[in-house]
Chain A
Amino acid sequence: MKTPSVDTVKFARKTKDKVQPWKELGLKEEEYERIRVILKRRPTSAELAMYSVMWSEHCSYKSSKIYLRQFGEKVTPEMKKNLMVGMGENAGVVDIGEGWAVTFKVESHNHPSFIEPFQGAATGVGGIVRDILTMGARPIAVMDQLRFGAPAHPDTARVVHGVVSGISFYGNCLGLPNIGGETVFDKVYQGNPLVNALSVGALRHEDLKLAKADKPGDLVILFGARTGADGIGGVSVLASETFDADGPSRRPAVQVGDPFAEKVLIECCLELYAAGVVAGIQDLGGAGLSCATSELASNGRAGMKVQLKNVLLRDESLTPEEILMSESQERMMAIVPKKHLKAFKKIVSKHEVEFSVLGKVIREPRLFIDWGKERIVDVPPRTVAHDGPVYERPVAYPAWLDNLNSNSVSNAGLKRASNASELATQIIQVISSPNQADKSWITDQYDHYVGGNTALAMPDDSGMVRVSEESGLGVAIATDANGKYCQLDPYTGAKLALAESYRNVAASGAKPVAVTNCLNFGSPENPEVMWQFKEATAGLADGCLELGIPVTGGNVSFYNQTGDVAIYPTPVVGVLGVIDNVARRIPSGWQDEGNNIYLLGTTRDELDGSAWAEVIHDHLGGKPPVVDLAHEKALAELIQGASLQGLVASAHDLSDGGLIQAIVESCLRFNIGARIWLEELMERDEVDLTAALFSESQGRILISVGREDDVKFVGLCEARGIPVLRIGVTDSTGDLVIQDVATWSMEQIQKLYSGAIPELFG
């Protein structure tokens, strides 16, 4: 029989024994067999391309699904009350009152960012922003969670410069304020940097859009950038395979971003939404057209008929399979009722955005894709988009974990400073270490003003943007993940990440209401990694239930490992808070002299996994700090209450680096000095000076209070049973004095804290 120029459904029926490259496309043998069972024949090469990308780990969540379910199960009706859209959509949507809703999500772009840091990071921003746009929202801010290898490693600067410039290039050009994020350096991320991007958007309730095609006859329209050869197979080949140290270069599989095209697309989409001409919308990201067509049809419980020859191409030589797999950026797919086509055309033409009608929605739940006169895809869309394989992979308690846990700071006999001058030296070492030092060399490369609604941004504890100009209603967002804590105990580590983000949001004066996550792990095929994943997801789900705030969506990134070496489990947890008026927000630094400084919470001797252990002793072992979510909740309620009464001049959460880190940052925020005394703290909590300064005990916040509000504030703490202790006072001397330890001028401490990162990368 004659072989046709494209592999058609008809031809596939007749050539059931044809050998197909399922393995090269990343499918396992049993997965390929399953496709044959679904289709009752061999797939065409176009169908194989679609299944392979959609069934990849990145798109199908096949290894994580059974654990992610608990985010939907461990919830109370109260937690779901304000949830307009939960997990499973492009991003979760939360009702924040006054007719406003907010959508937010964090996503990984780890693998591309190692191969091509600039484009990898840039398109990471582009992708998450399109997810937010797809919900009908105007994107209003972005944040980035970055993890790089050891600062001194020769390859780290390449990745740092590329990633930071990529985010700066793309995010700034989109006109979205970058309001915060994280930067961590650790050798475990050397070959697997983590580049997570978060975006938040705001919409009126009635503007909510969903990615579904459910009305037969509606048109399927592709618009935005043309389809090119970039990012082909990115999903299956890149994101779902462990890097091989001496494997071939994978550069061609990384997408290339054009932020200008995306900015135009954002304005164009918002105008389309406002005109009410779009019935459903989906962005094209991972898996490109394969994903958009199958998901829209599957979500709408309908089918779709598409003419692939109608796709506008950048490169006319692309094959139908390549067109289906291409991950060219800045494209969207809209479902448009026929009667609105004229209005649709008018709006996209105004923005000079190209579009083409690919086909239409049909009643029969089947996805038909034609290449000219030939049918090359004939599949049930649900089997591609939603009913992919689900694995319960083997889990195993890590063989090394007991040893790591018993190698605590005390068992290892790590030496503490024996006098004031040694302690002063350790303080300097800690605050000028790359992980603890000022990150403004990075954040100053991002626009945090655009939009005119930024109420808080780095270096404050959380980012905050105004949503309503009329009322001042706004949202605060903070993210956190401590990979070291998770390596010591992934269950507690995930709860700790949640606790810290929650505390950061609370410290800004906002009320925490929802959670997103980006779960960065090693290979799911390693049972020990899978155990870490199981523990971390359980910890996060249990934590959310305890705090009473729901997970609204998230992302999983597996295969972050080089050879056999996996990264620390790094579940990035983002918490969204609501504040009735952003004018009430609390800064993280001391603003006035003569204010009293209070430490809320209890300090324990918790130095395992701390910045002190890492910087001073290059040590990681023991157990992470104790987490008490009931206390975190009480603390958050206290801050909200105190902020409503205008009693709090500043609030800074304590986390890695401990009390001394919070003190230094509070001083330098507005260059206000302070005198700090610690005897009472040491006596009350029975800790030594090292623990008082460096312990990473949770549930603590450093507060400054004007003298006139003193009695009221302390009364409020006592009434709520929150331990409160005055440990100092702000002053105008321009010095930071830690009694019995050291005195530094603001200039000295600024130089130490702010000089480290520019020295490494500037």
Chain B
Amino acid sequence: MRIGVVTFPGTLDDRDAMRAVRLAGAEPVSLWHADKDLKKVDAVVLPGGFSFGDYLRCGAIAALAPIMEKVIDAANGGLPVLGICNGFQVLVESHLLPGGLIRNEHQHFICRDQKLIVENNQTAWTNLFEVGQEITIPLKNGEGGYIADEETLKRLEGEGLIVFRYSEVNPNGSINNIAGLSNERGNVVGLMPHPEHAVEPGFGPDTPVAMRSGVDGLQFFKSVINMVVNA
């Protein structure tokens, strides 16, 4: 099982995403933004960061990178794609997911251990979670406020495409506490929090058991392995 991790100029969490893939049991494959080659991977992660400096609009320039042509085609063909934070913004700018992400309501960048409720476990990236399960995933963004027009929102809610909602605290003013969503097919998932930062004991969020012991993020990567291997 090979999972590609795309690096754009300004991508920051690519090495973290590669580590997460490795810890989940798959082989990470580095993909470069300027190449038009997906190297025969079984899934793709668009990691967090500030691709192209977030200039113009977060994710807008990265959405036009050569590699994204291939990612968009493959995603439309069913390849599992996970967009994390800036990667989520790229998915939205690529029209693989609807809506948009705007400046946090309080105007500050925020980094915190965020509680999420899993709303949909029928996607490529969440099939090992239970619906209603509470998980803790680090969140860090300046422009994470999810918005969508009323019609889109109605469709997302009606079709169960909201995958995660913020629990206890809405950290950025997202509509309906939306933290992440998927496409109809369930192969493309985007979210603002960072599952790749909750994969290794000692370096994840705090839990009631011990400091920095949270590994809820590992299930994202295990889910996609589970799906591909059992497909």
A residues with a Cβ closer than 8 A to B are 165, 168-169, 172-175, 258-261, 263-264, 350-352, 444-455, 466, 469, 582-583, 587, 591, 670
Contacts and interface: CB of A to CB of B under 8 A. Distances in A.
B53 A445 contact: no
A751 B126 CA distance: 36
Nearest to B55: A260
A453 B10 contact: no
Nearest to A267: B9
Contacts of A172: 50, 109, 140, 142
A121 to B, nearest CB: 14
Given A168-B109, A446-B111, A452 B200 contact: yes
Contacts of B142: 168, 172
Contacts of B34: 350
A445 B139 CA distance: 11
Contact of A175 (B12, B55, B111, B202): B12
A351 B9 contact: yes
Nearest to B11: A175
Which one of A260, A445, A450 has the greatest number of beta carbons of chain B within 10 Å?
Answer: A450
B206 interface: yes
Which one of B55, B112, B140 has the greatest number of beta carbons of chain A within 10 Å?
Answer: B140
A325 B13 CA distance: 36
B49 interface: yes
B190 interface: no
B222 interface: no
Contacts of A263: 9-10, 12, 50
Contacts of A670: 206, 211
B50 A591 contact: no
| Closest 6 A/B residue pairs (Cβ) | A260-B53, A175-B12, A452-B16, A449-B197, A173-B50, A447-B140
B52 A260 contact: yes
B103 interface: no
B221 to A, nearest CB: 13
Given A352-B9, A452-B19, A444 B112 contact: yes
B108 interface: yes
A175 B51 CA distance: 11
A264 B9 CA distance: 6
A591 B210 contact: yes
A452 B15 contact: yes
A350 B9 CA distance: 10
Contacts of B15: 451-452
B206 to A, nearest CB: 7
B202 A583 contact: yes
A42 B210 CA distance: 69
A454 B203 contact: yes
12 contacts: A168-B109, A172-B142, A173-B53, A175-B12, A261-B53, A264-B9, A264-B10, A447-B140, A450-B140, A452-B197, A582-B202, A583-B202
A466 B203 contact: yes
Contacts of A258: 53
Nearest to A178: B111
B16 A450 contact: yes
A453 B203 contact: yes
A452 B204 CA distance: 8
B212 interface: yes
Interface string B89-129: 00000000000000000001111100000000000000000
A445 B197 CA distance: 17
B111 A447 contact: yes
A541 to B, nearest CB: 36
A670 to B, nearest CB: 7
A451 B54 CA distance: 20
A606 to B, nearest CB: 32
B165 interface: no
A466 B210 CA distance: 18
A455 B203 contact: yes
Contacts of B211: 587, 591, 670
B216 interface: no
A347 to B, nearest CB: 13
Given A263-B50, A264-B10, A452-B15, 18 more contacts: A168-B142, A169-B109, A172-B109, A172-B142, A173-B10, A173-B50, A260-B53, A263-B9, A263-B10, A446-B111, A449-B194, A450-B197, A452-B199, A455-B203, A469-B19, A582-B202, A591-B210, A670-B211
B218 to A, nearest CB: 12
Which one of B108, B142, B202, B211 has the greatest number of beta carbons of chain A within 10 Å?
Answer: B211
B203 A444 contact: no
A281 B8 CA distance: 25
A449 B10 contact: no
Contacts of B110: 444-445
A260 B50 contact: yes
Nearest to A261: B53
Nearest to B206: A670
Contact of A450 (B12, B52, B109): B12
A543 to B, nearest CB: 31
A66 to B, nearest CB: 43
A351 B202 CA distance: 33
A377 B19 CA distance: 51
Contacts of B180: none
Contact of A455 (B16, B111, B202): B202
A450 B210 CA distance: 20
A261 B9 CA distance: 9
Contacts of B196: 452
Given A449-B194, A587-B211, A591-B211, A260 B140 contact: no
Interface in B37-72: 49-50, 52-55
A259 B53 contact: yes
Nearest to B53: A260
B4 interface: no
Interface in B1-40: 9-10, 12-13, 15-16, 19, 34
B138 interface: yes
A453 B197 CA distance: 10
A585 to B, nearest CB: 8
A175 B9 CA distance: 12
Contacts of B206: 670
Given A449-B194, A670-B211, A175 B49 contact: yes
A172 B203 CA distance: 18
B212 to A, nearest CB: 7
A57 to B, nearest CB: 34
B13 A450 contact: yes
Contacts of B50: 172-173, 259-260, 263
Contacts of B197: 449-450, 452
A260 B203 contact: no
A582 B202 CA distance: 8
Nearest to B207: A670
A483 B140 CA distance: 33
Contacts of A445: 108-111
Which one of A259, A351, A452 has the greatest number of beta carbons of chain B within 10 Å?
Answer: A452
Contacts of A444: 110-112
Which one of A351, A451, A587 has the greatest number of beta carbons of chain B within 10 Å?
Answer: A451
